[in-house]
């Protein structure tokens, strides 16, 4: 069974849970390091999010530590994955 699709709100909830905050307390442009997210927790998040087959790279996420930036990375990965699947299935 595959993991459910990753959404921005699921990412916000996962981050908030690790920081012991309410999801609403995490703004899109908040610096997650300033909020208390350390590299080990970030790597744990990426491991969970990679279960959906996105092949997320920690170094890319470490460049900009905001939910908005991370969501943009996920959107790019989803688009890349979808194109690759279409090519593999002869649809593109």
Residue 19 in domain: yes
- Give pLDDT tens digits for 9-61: 999 999 999 999 999 999 999 999 999 999 999 999 999 999 878 889 999 99
Please give the tally of structural domains in the chain.
1
Q: Is the alpha carbon torsion for 12, 85, 79, 56 positive or negative?
A: positive
CATH classification at residue 48:
1.10.1200.10
pTM of the model: 0.85
Residue 1 has a pLDDT of 45
Residue 55 in domain: yes
Determine contact, residues 46/58, Cβ cutoff 8 Å.
Answer: yes
Instruction: Give the range of the structural domain holding residue 47, as residue numbers without chain letter.
Output: 8-88
Among 60, 25, 29, 26, residue whose Cα is nearest residue 46: 60
């Amino acid at each position: 069974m595959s993991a459910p699709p990753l959404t921005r709100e699921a990412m916000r909830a996962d981050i908030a849970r690790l920081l012991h905050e309410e999801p609403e307390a995490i703004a899109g442009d908040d610096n997650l390091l300033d909020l208390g997210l350390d590299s080990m927790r970030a790597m744990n998040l990426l491991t969970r999010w990679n279960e959906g087959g996105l092949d997320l790279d920690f170094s890319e996420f470490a460049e900009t530590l905001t939910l908005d930036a991370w969501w943009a990375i996920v959107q790019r990965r989803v688009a890349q994955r979808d194109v690759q699947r279409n090519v593999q299935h002869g649809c593109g």
